Amino acid sequence: MARAQQQEEKGSRPIPAEVKDVRRIGIEKLAIAKSASETIELSKLVDELARELDYPRDRIIAALMELNEKHEVKLAEKSPYRSLSSYALSPASLWYWAAVGATLLSLGLIFVTSGLALYLRYVFGGLLVLFLPGYSLIELLYSKKKELDDLTRVALSIGLSLALVPLTGLVLNYTPFGIRLIPVALSLALLTIILLTGALRRKHSYYKLANDV
């Protein structure tokens, strides 16, 4: 309402009376009312709410996601990801491939010794040592996004990485490989990918429970 009043005071285009009446209902109540009687596609629901409320789409999508978290509406795919492989290839698993890609790139860059790529080696090498192992463990232990906020996840990822790296070196010290660059990098990469895959499986199990798959 405040935004609508400000637009009218500044001389912008007037908001029709019927839109004002719909806005009084609010995004939440209107979305619940539209989705209560029948199943409706998300894109169609967003388009209808944007047209009737004259709100930007991102605001409506954010409100719908909040309603989904409160279990007041249920957002689900037409074809749920029943298998782990289909879930791994879905947009919900982009975090997994980004982390795996960064891990593999870190491994490839350990053989770089000169040029501009050397700076990338420093960056991704730092990620492999200071962030990725702890991040993968946090994703495994706290697979639900709402369990930890983003800042806490980053802080714990760094802290746990600083704990996992010395433990990995300690184990390698009692093997024939010893504490050398390539064995340490390979061990950290393998540990990270195993933990990430475990986190992916756990997220998929939560997904199936939430969607009754």
Distance CA 189, CA 26 (A): 49
pLDDT score recorded for residue 16? 46
pLDDT-derived band at 108 (thresholds 50, 70, 90) equals very high
Domain boundaries, the chain: 2-69, 84-210
Q: What is the pLDDT of residues 172-210, one digit of tens each?
A: 999 999 999 999 999 999 999 999 999 999 999 998 887
166 C-beta neighbours (distance < 10 Å), count: 9
Report DSSP letters for 8-23, one per residue. Answer: HHTT-PPPPHHHHHHH
pLDDT exceeding 90 applies to what percent of the chain? 49
Average pLDDT, the chain: 82
